[in-house]
């Protein structure tokens, strides 16, 4: 509890001293300190309810919880502090936001920078990273080009991923994404891994699983949680589309089920003939019909890196804890398959009946487009097709 340090002043008058030593005096002092304490707490709580901007800017993850912790910390002994810190580990906030001090109404710029210019403090671990195995090739009928790769990385940044390990399984030199990703490597958002020696002939174990395993072995201890997903798979929380939703989801989940080491996301396919990619350069803005239910059992995992024994594509083997399928209303994978099932042709009645309209991602699309010139070296890089 809060301690009040009372100064003892030399007192001449014996009668006054007697008053000081009396029970009444102590009771009054107690009441007084209690009132001060209550006033301080009320002050803090009010600030919290008003959603103090300064505070919000610094904390995306469980703002109130974090604030409550800082309150507790102020008033607790070192032992308690340790316990509380440990309990709050899941709501990790090691990343700090570079603040833009210009307050000349450039709230728009600031809003964008809140999520896209987060800096991880040196030597700290990531709360959440991603790992991707990819090959970009110009004959791809799904047209997943460098543009779509950059869009996906940009979306992950919005979602709260702090770093992505990109394993580039290019087959021809001209497919290498090294140059295209250079600016993200420089800002320490991407680690680029040349995986071309394992690219051909492609195999699940030799190309894909080996990449995930290599990532765990080499950088596993730099991330607390990690997700292994493809560049047409977008993690999405239907109830929370604000920046950093992934960290909030994981923090919520592991607070409720701390023994879970692997959370798997169900797979909703976005199907049908895409809208014009000139008018809709953003992939997730091009495909707006999805399957009613999870399309299949091909889930994708989010996992504690330290609890993985062996990597696979859908479920990793765990050394500790257990694996749980997440509620699809809390999190799912939006999987942008497009016209694959109808062999790249027009929509068929079957495809239309298998799918429903879903544009709930629109809010995020708008935010990504609004911020492109603030967050990217050149906004056009997510709008213009290129292959390397
Ligand atoms: C959290 O608690 C565990 C188990 O008691 C301990 O091993 C770990 O060091 C603690 N972490 C922190 C940050 O205090
Ligand atoms: C702050 O934003 C202004 C534009 O509003 C920009 O010119 C300036 O470089 C930014 N400063 C930092 C530190 O990001
Ligand atoms: C890359 O090279 C291959 C083989 O020479 C060729 O088929 C392909 O069209 C090239 N891709 C690009 C984007 O130039
Ligand atoms: C991860 O492990 C390596 C080698 O074992 C070690 O040098 C490094 O400091 C560790 N990093 C973290 C963040 O624990
Ligand atoms: C996390 O929990 C908070 C408070 O319980 C809730 O408002 C928020 O929607 C949750 N976020 C996710 C992504 O589950």
- Whether 81 is in a domain gets the answer no
> Residue 135 and residue 145: Cα distance in Å, rounded?
9
81 lines ligand 4 (CB under 6 A): no
Mean pLDDT of all residues in the chain?
83
**How far away, in angstroms, is 298 Cα from ligand 5 center?**
25
Query: Radius of gyration of the chain from Cα atoms?
Result: 26
- Whether 80 is in a domain gets the answer no
Write phi, then psi, for 137 (nearest 5 degrees). Answer: -145, 140
222 lines ligand 4 (CB under 6 A): yes
- Whether 63 is in a domain gets the answer no
> Residue 168 and residue 192: Cα distance in Å, rounded?
7
273: nearest Cα among 341, 351, 338: 338
Q: Record the pTM.
A: 0.72
**How far away, in angstroms, is 102 Cα from ligand 2 center?**
7
140 lines ligand 3 (CB under 6 A): no
Closest residue by CA, ligand 5 atom 5: 252
Q: Read off the pLDDT of residues 136-187 as tens digits, 9 standing for 90 and up.
A: 999 999 999 999 999 999 999 999 999 999 999 999 999 999 999 999 999 9
157: nearest Cα among 121, 192, 128, 194: 128
- Whether 100 is in a domain gets the answer no
State the Cα torsion 235-240-242-243 to the nearest 10°.
-40
CATH number at 267 reads: 3.90.550
- Whether 5 is in a domain gets the answer no
Residues 209/311, Cβ–Cβ less than 8 Å: yes
Looking up tokens 């707006």, which residue turns up? 288
Looking up tokens 């395993």, which residue turns up? 213
The count of domains in the chain is 1
Sign of CA dihedral 340, 343, 344, 349: negative
| Pocket lining for ligand 5, CB < 6 angstroms | 237, 239-240, 245, 248-249, 252, 330
| SS3 assignment, position 324 | strand
Q: Which helix (H) or strand (E) holds 297?
A: strand 296-304
| Residue to mutate, 136, 175, 180, 387, ligand 3, most ligand atoms under 8 Å from C-beta | 175
Closest residue by CA, ligand 5 atom 12: 249
Given pLDDT bands bounded at 50, 70 and 90, which one contains residue 19?
low
For 245, the domain range is 126-375
Q: Read off the pLDDT of residues 314-345 as tens digits, 9 standing for 90 and up.
A: 999 999 999 999 999 999 999 999 999 999 99
- Whether 108 is in a domain gets the answer no
- Distance from CA of residue 257 to its chain's centroid? 19
- Token code pair at residue 226: 């990690």
- Whether 311 is in a domain gets the answer yes
- Whether 68 is in a domain gets the answer no
């Amino acid at each position: 509890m809060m301690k009040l340090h009372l100064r003892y002043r030399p007192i001449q008058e014996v009668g006054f001293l007697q008053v000081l030593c009396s029970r009444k005096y102590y009771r009054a002092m107690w009441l007084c300190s209690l009132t001060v304490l209550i006033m301080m707490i009320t002050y803090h709580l009010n600030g919290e309810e008003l959603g103090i901007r300064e505070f919000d800017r610094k904390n995306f993850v469980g703002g109130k919880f974090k604030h409550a912790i800082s309150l507790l910390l102020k008033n607790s002994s070192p032992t308690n502090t340790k316990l509380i810190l440990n309990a709050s580990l899941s709501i990790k906030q090691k990343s700090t936001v570079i603040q833009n001090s210009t307050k000349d109404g450039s709230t728009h710029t600031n809003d964008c920078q809140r999520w896209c210019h987060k800096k991880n403090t040196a030597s700290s671990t990531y709360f959440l990273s991603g790992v991707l195995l990819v090959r970009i090739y110009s004959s791809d009928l799904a047209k997943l080009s460098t543009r779509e790769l950059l869009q996906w990385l940009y979306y992950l940044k919005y979602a709260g991923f702090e770093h992505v390990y990109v394993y580039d399984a290019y087959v021809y030199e001209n497919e290498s994404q090294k140059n295209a990703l250079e600016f993200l490597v420089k800002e320490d958002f991407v680690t680029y891994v040349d995986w071309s020696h394992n690219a051909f002939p492609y195999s699940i174990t030799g190309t894909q699983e080996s990449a995930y395993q290599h990532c765990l072995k080499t950088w596993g201890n730099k991330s607390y949680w990690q997700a292994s997903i493809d560049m047409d798979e977008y993690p999405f929380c239907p109830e929370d589309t604000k920046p950093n939703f992934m960290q909030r989801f994981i923090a919520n989940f592991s607070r409720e089920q701390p023994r879970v080491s692997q959370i798997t996301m169900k797979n909703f396919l976005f199907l049908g003939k895409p809208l014009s990619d000139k008018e809709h350069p953003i992939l997730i803005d091009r495909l707006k019909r999805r399957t009613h239910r999870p399309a299949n059992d091909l889930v994708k995992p989010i996992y504690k890196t330290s609890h993985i024994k062996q990597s696979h594509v859908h479920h990793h083997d765990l050394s500790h804890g257990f694996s749980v399928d997440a509620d699809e209303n809390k999190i799912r994978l939006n999987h942008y398959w497009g016209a694959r099932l109808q062999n790249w042709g027009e929509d068929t009645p079957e495809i239309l009946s298998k799918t429903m309209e879903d544009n709930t991602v629109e809010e995020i699309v708008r935010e990504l487009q609004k911020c492109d010139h603030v967050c990217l070296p050149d906004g056009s890089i997510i709008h213009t097709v290129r292959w390397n």
